[in-house]
């Protein structure tokens, strides 16, 4: 799995990953452009149709979706096995669904006001479905990479990310039964996802292996 050498296209994928991770993690910008929503509502509500600077957050999510999809495409060109391609498909779907989600902004802020019933808000339903599916796809990509790298270089990083997702699950269950600052848990989750996006090309691409002759020479030098 992951038989990709670290070439120029790899370093381009690293640049795309860093750019995607930075623009995806846009919630800190909300405390500057729209503090009223950031201190009480969810990140998606920064993109709501009537919110100030909503276009900024929509644009950032659209850009992250484009960067992530482009990153998956770059890595796809030299992928060969089923597991690797499954990882890349899920990662690309995360980018595409993030883009779709951003292009269907809310027309009401459920965390800040009483909204009409969901039956009267088909756009909000589609927005929610896209958002949930995007999260599932990203999580699947991380789980598959973690499973493959359990005894390889990078296993500690992947295990730490898995622990981070587990912690988010605990936070989510807690805030479901005990209403509180759930937006803080979402900020943590978005940051965690951004870290995974940035690390993605590094985790799915192994370091180039030394030629066999060079390895044999080094072994002989050690013996001598």
Q: What tokens does 159 get? A: 């295990």
Angle, helices 155-177 vs 122-148, to 10°: value is 150
Task: Say what the pLDDT of residue 205 is.
Answer: 75
The answer to whether residues 25 and 198 touch, using CB atoms and an 8 Å cutoff, is no
Residue 27 tokens, joined: 């919630």
Residue 2 lies in a domain: no
141: in domain? yes
Say what the pLDDT of residue 212 is.
46
The position carrying tokens 């989510």 is 172
Task: Choose between 78 and 82: higher pLDDT.
Answer: 82
Element (H, E) at 35: helix 35-38
Classify residue 22: in a domain, yes or no: yes
Most trustworthy range by pLDDT among 74-88, 111-125, 164-178 = 74-88
Mean pLDDT calculated for residue range 171-180: 72
pTM: 0.83
- pLDDT tens column, 25-49: 999 999 999 998 888 888 888 998 8
Identify the pLDDT of residue 69.
96
Those residues with Cβ within 8 angstroms of residue 71's Cβ, 6 or more apart along the chain or in another chain: 13, 16, 17, 20, 91, 95, 200, 201
Number of structural domains found in the chain:
1
pLDDT of the residue at 141: 96
Tens digits of per-residue pLDDT, 113-159? Answer: 666 666 667 777 888 899 999 999 999 999 999 998 877 767 888 99
Share of the chain above pLDDT 90, in %: 48
Mean pLDDT of all residues belonging to the chain: 83
Q: Is residue 124 in some structural domain?
A: yes
| 3 within some domain | no
Give the Cα separation of 118 and 136 in Å (integer): 22
Residue range of the domain that includes 71: 8-223
Please check whether residue 32 is in contact with residue 58, taking contact to mean a CB–CB distance below 8 angstroms: no
Report, as an integer, the average pLDDT of 92-114: 85
Query: Which has more confidence, 14 or 6?
Result: 14
pLDDT for residue 193 is more than 90: yes
Asked whether residue 136 is assigned to any structural domain, the reply reads yes
């Amino acid at each position: 799995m992951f038989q990709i050498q670290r070439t120029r296209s790899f370093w381009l994928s690293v640049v795309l990953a860093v750019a995607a991770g930075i623009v995806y993690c846009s919630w800190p910008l909300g405390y500057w452009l729209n503090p009223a929503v950031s201190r009480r509502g969810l990140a998606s509500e920064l993109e709501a149709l009537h919110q100030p600077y909503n276009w900024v957050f929509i644009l950032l999510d659209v850009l992250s979706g484009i960067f992530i999809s482009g990153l998956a495409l770059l890595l796809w060109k030299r992928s060969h096995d089923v597991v690797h391609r499954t990882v890349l498909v899920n990662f690309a779907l995360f980018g595409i669904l993030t883009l779709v989600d951003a292009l269907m902004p809310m027309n009401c802020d459920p965390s800040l006001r009483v909204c009409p019933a969901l039956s009267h808000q088909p756009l909000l339903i589609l927005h929610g479905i896209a958002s949930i599916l995007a999260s599932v796809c990203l999580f699947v990509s991380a789980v598959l990479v973690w499973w493959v790298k359990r005894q390889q270089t990078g296993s500690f990083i992947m295990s730490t990310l898995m622990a981070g997702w587990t912690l988010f699950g605990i936070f989510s269950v807690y805030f479901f039964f005990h209403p509180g600052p759930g937006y803080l848990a979402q900020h943590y989750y978005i940051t965690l996802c951004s870290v995974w996006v940035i690390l993605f090309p590094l985790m799915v691409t192994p370091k180039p292996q030394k030629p066999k002759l060079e390895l044999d020479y080094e072994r002989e030098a050690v013996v001598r």
